[in-house]
Amino acid sequence: MQEGTVDFSIKLRNYACKMKAGKCTDLPKISLTGILTTALGSFAGIGLVAMLAEYYNLPLLLPSFGASAVLLYAACQVPMAQPRNVIGGHLVSALMGVIVYQLFGDVWWAIALGVTLAIMMMALTYTLHPPGGATAFVAVYTAQDFNFIFSPVLLGAVCLVIIALLVNNLSNERKYPYYWY
């Protein structure tokens, strides 16, 4: 075997070993109170957004809000569930998606570009919120204009955060938010 082949083989083996994982032994215990608080928050948050959408005939429902609900009501302690990240991440992502759609239309690569720019901008603004990627995707895929940023995105994200503030602090096991900015 040549030296270059050996080096490549070692690098490939080392690369593949990085993907080996062990068993998670420290899964957090979830109390019945925690599960009920999560359920109440999720139902109230998504319910409020759905009710406002129906009552005012506003397109407030975004699939990405379902993913935000998981973070806000089941993992409210993580940085990506804090108000700055939820509201900022959705806004930055909506803006990137709308700009990309307005410039390039809804071709496949525009969707990829919108999501990529959203990720980059969320990272640059310290507002990483994974559901924001879906918000950018939806903005391009459904041909949105700049109104999309305010309704449904801003209005819906604010509603979800308000419910998270009210519900998460009902439990002695939770505190929300950990920070605002």
Q: What is the pTM of this model?
A: 0.87
Mean pLDDT of the chain: 92
Indicate if the pLDDT at residue 4 is higher than 80. Answer: no
Amino acid 29: pLDDT: 83
Q: What angle do CA 159, 57, 155 make, to 5 degrees?
A: 20
d(CA 97, CA 89): 12
Q: Give percent of the chain above pLDDT 90.
A: 75
In this predicted structure, the answer to whether residue 25 has a pLDDT above a threshold of 80 is no
Half-sphere exposure of 21 (CA within 13 A, CB side): 4
**Tokens of residue 32, six digits:** 């019945």
CA distances from 112 to 43, 75, 97, 102 (A): 32, 28, 10, 14
Average pLDDT over residues 55-67: 82
Among 26-40, 70-84, 87-101, 141-155, where is mean pLDDT lowest? 26-40
Q: Is the model's pLDDT at 117 over the cut of 60?
A: yes
- Residue written as token pair 């080392």: 14
Concatenated DSSP letters of 44-104: HHHHHHHHHHHHTT-----HHHHHHHHHHHH-TTSGGGSHHHHHHHHHHHHHHHHHHHHHH
The 10 Å Cβ neighbour count of residue 45 is: 25
